[in-house]
Each structure stands twice: as C-alpha cells, then as structure tokens.
Structure 1
Amino acid sequence: MDIAAMVGEFVTLFIMAFALGMDAFSVGLGMGLIKLRLKQIFSIGLTIGIFHMWMPLLGMVIGGLLSEQFGVIATYVGGGLLLLLGLQMIISSFKDSDDRIVTPIGFGLFIFALSVSLDSFSVGLSLGIYGAKTIMVILMFGVVSMILSWVGLLLGRKVQTWLGSYSEALGGSILLAFGVKLLFPI
C-alpha cells in the first residue's frame, strides 16, 4: 500500500471516528450538565474511549459472520438506553433529592458508555466486512471519542454553572432527543 492510500485511509477513519465521537460529545454535553468532579469527567471520557475501542473491535470480528441487521438492533438498544438516561435526568431535576436511577458512576457509567458506543459496534461490523486495519480503527475511534467526550463534559460543566437548577433538565432533554434520533432516524 502506498503512502497516498495510507493517508486516505487514515483521513477516512478519522472522519468516521469524529462522526462517532460526536455522539459521545453530544451525550457528554448533556451529562456534563449535572454536577461532576474533574476526576469523574476524566474517568467518564476514558471509559467512553475504551468502549469506543472494544465495541468496533467486537463488530469487526463479528462483521464477516453476521448480517447488517444486527447493527440496526445495536442502534435501537443504544437509543433506548439514551431515552432511559434522559428521562431519568429530567425526572430527577424536578426532585429535591440527589437520588438518581442512573449516574455516570459504577454500573451507570457502564450503561452510559455502552449507550454512546453501540453505533461504533455497527460501524465495526461494516469495517470488518470491508477489511480495514484493526489497530488503526480501534485506536482512532478510542482516542477521538475520549477527547470529544472530555470536551463535551467540560463544556457541559461550564454551562451548568450558568443555567443552575435548569441544567439537569436541559441535559436530560439532550439525551432524550438523541435517543429519539437513534430510534427514529429521519
């Protein structure tokens, strides 16, 4: 493979990684509207990056064996998880207590990271059929989504201080809208 082809593949994968990472950015922006410490933001971004590495890897491995229909199912599961997170944030914004069904800690972080990385599984299925370079794909997807998650979370944290008590409802609305978008593509 010559240099031009390698650069072309790198640019193509970067664009794909950026597009997939924008999901993590958008959801991170919404999740950043709840009060998070910098340590939590770091671990959320790192976890999302790891999920964006192993989900496409899993998709690439399975890609040659399964049909594209499985990728559609993964998108619906991700949309459902985002709906759950968004509704939970909106409901908890109207309560005085800080009790949440799902928080970006422990199992909630797993759910959060899974919901934003399921689309990378679908892309991994396609890339597995295409025969893309596995190491370059998983590194690119992981690093880009991690950085975009951090940017979204930090920006959400900044906006949260401006919006005060309305920020969590806004964040939940963003997650809810993104879940609806995944479930009902236009």
Structure 2
Amino acid sequence: MDFTMPQWGQIITLTFIAIALGMDAFSLGIGVGMKRISLRKITTISLTIGIFHIIMPLIGIIIGHLLGNVIKEIAVMVGGGMLCFLGMNMLIQLLKHKERDSIHIQSITSVVLLSLTVSVDSLSAGLSLGLFASDLVLAILLFGFVGMIMAAMGLYLGRFVGYWLGRYGEAIGGIILILLGSKFLW
C-alpha cells in the first residue's frame, strides 16, 4: 500500500497531535499509577481513556465540519489558532504549578470521570481537525489508540517513577500542539 506525500504528511501530523493529546493521560496516569494499582485496573482505565479519546474528538470533528461549512474562508486559521490555544493552555497550567488532587480510582464512575477529564482536550482538537480536510477515521483511531497506550504507559510507569516525569510529558505535549497550530496560522 503506497501513500502519497500528502497522505504521509497527514499521518505524521495526526500522530503528533495524538501524542500531544495523550500526554495528559500519560501525566495523570503516572500520578494514579504511583498508588500501585493492579494491572487489571490499568487495563480498564487505559481502555476507557482510549474509548473517550475516540468519542470526544469525533464529536469535535462533527461540530468542526458543520462550522467549516459556515466559515470556509477562515477555517484553517481558526483551527490552527485553536491548536495553539490548547497547547498554551497546557503550558500555562504547568507554570501555575497546580498540583492535582489525589485521585482514587475505586469505581467505574471514577474511571469514567477520569477518562472524560483527560479527553476534553481531544474534543477541542477534534473541532480544529473538523475545520480541515482530514481523514476522520484515521484521526479518531489514532487518537484512541495513542491515548490508550499513553495512559497505560503512564499508569504502569507511575508504579516506578515520580510525578516529575508526568509534568515534562505535558510540557512536551503543549509545545507540539503550539508548533502544529502555528503551522496553520502562517
């Protein structure tokens, strides 16, 4: 299966966005994983986050497509601006040194709330992508898969490393989103 240069470019761009969005799940996963949760709980949380990383951007992409029809002329700039805003927001939250409260994952409700929390950024990114001509299926599958894998890595690594690794991961994710968004602004 041969891909053209624009197809490769889209795959690479969507992968970077998926990784940037997955950094939040990775970071939070480290904090939760430090409680030495079971491998079964790691699997449950990771799968739920993966599902939410599919649902939330899908909703955003649908809304973005609808808005894209209304604001065709400025859609690319608006989408790029939203990615930059999302990345800057991630960095601002880190600079505020806002420590996350201790999270106790003991019920399916807490797993769903955790998954929703780390997937909200995916809604905004989906909205931005909906304004572009992007491959819907590729985007949501990448977001879901990468979100699930990064959550699992964070949860597992959290059993062995400290909170500092998660903060660096979020910073990298914010920078990636700013760089990708600024590409569409110029």
| Shorter-normalised TM range | 0.5 to 0.7
| Counterpart residue identity of residue 142, structure 1 | G
CA drift at 1:152: 0.6
1:25-83 Cα deviation digits (max 9, x unpaired): 11111111113100000111111111101100010111144598x998xx89xx8xxxx
Structure 1 stretches lacking a partner, 5+ long:
80-84, 90-99, 160-166
Residue 151 of structure 1 pairs with residue 153 of structure 2: yes
Q: 1:157 to 1:63 in 2, by over 3 A?
A: same
Matched residue, 2:23: 22
* 1:112-131 mapped onto 2 (5 Å cutoff): 112-131=114-133
Give the Cα–Cα distance (whole angstroms) in 2 for the partners of residues 28 and 49 of structure 1.
13
Sequence identity of aligned pairs in percent? 40
CA drift at 1:138: 0.5
Matched residue, 1:39: 40
CA drift at 1:4: 0.9
TM-score (norm 2): 0.67
| Counterpart residue identity of residue 64, structure 2 | G
CA drift at 1:103: 2.0
Give the Cα–Cα distance (whole angstroms) in 2 for the partners of residues 104 and 5 of structure 1.
45
Query: Tell me, what secondary structure is at the counterpart of 2:160?
Result: helix
TM-score (norm 1): 0.67
* 1:42-121 mapped onto 2 (5 Å cutoff): 42-65=43-66, 86-87=100-101, 89=102, 102-103=104-105, 105-121=107-123
CA drift at 1:104: 5.5
Query: Tell me, what secondary structure is at the counterpart of 1:86?
Result: coil
Contact 1:57 1:124 in 2 (8 A): yes
CA drift at 1:105: 3.1
Contact 1:35 1:157 in 2 (8 A): yes
| Counterpart residue identity of residue 3, structure 1 | T
Give the Cα–Cα distance (whole angstroms) in 2 for the partners of residues 105 and 60 of structure 1.
30
CA drift at 1:153: 0.5
Give the Cα–Cα distance (whole angstroms) in 1 for the partners of residues 46 and 107 of structure 2.
12
Give the Cα–Cα distance (whole angstroms) in 2 for the partners of residues 113 and 16 of structure 1.
18
Structure 2 stretches lacking a partner, 5+ long:
68-77, 94-98, 175-186
Contact 1:51 1:114 in 2 (8 A): yes
